[in-house]
Structure 1
Amino acid sequence: MGKSPGEDYLDVLKARRKEKRPPNREQALAEEIWLFFGKEITFPAILKIIRAKGQQAVYEIWNEVKKAEFPNKPALFLSLVKKEKVFWLDAKKTAKTNGRNPVKHK
């Protein structure tokens, strides 16, 4: 005897659960940084940095750190991220205000 239609449906659900989502670019960059520093910086903290500063800015800092004399020090990466003045502008912040709160004139 064959499987009932309900069993086929359960097999499909199990197969979907096993499939992992492909990482997006932010997650791929965060994972590369996380593994490079030997997991000394937490993964959620790296993702938060990328979302706050912007993917391109963090990627440029990351390339500078890899070329540095002592690249395996997470303090160098964190200090460069802290000094970076580029901020990612989301949908709420427009380029006109440049990330600042707009001044309302009366």
Structure 2
Amino acid sequence: MSSLRIMDSDPGKAQRTAEAVQRALETSPEVVLGNVSVVPNHRDGGARVFMEVLLLETPAAREDGDQEVTVERADRPRRSPARRELPGGRRTLGSGK
């Protein structure tokens, strides 16, 4: 069984987000929602919500291994793109010109 973790420094926001995710998962015919537990985050007063999710696989489903999902957050600034490489110069170390 896979698990989801929803964390936020605002416990109310973590709970509302978890409830929205739970409603979405419960309407999906592809998964079954298992245990849902809320754990207070003692560092910053926030909360963590853990959900167990079981994928209902068809007999013909293949096992491709683990999957990783990345979610970009709108409340954090994006990283700036990598700097371009500087063009090659004519000076050498120690030439002083």
Same-fold call, TM > 0.5?
no
Using CA pairs below 8 Å that are at least 6 residues apart, which structure has the higher relative contact order? 2
Which protein has the bigger helix share? 1
Which protein has the bigger strand share? 2
Q: TM-score by structure 1 length? A: 0.25
Q: TM-score by structure 2 length? A: 0.27
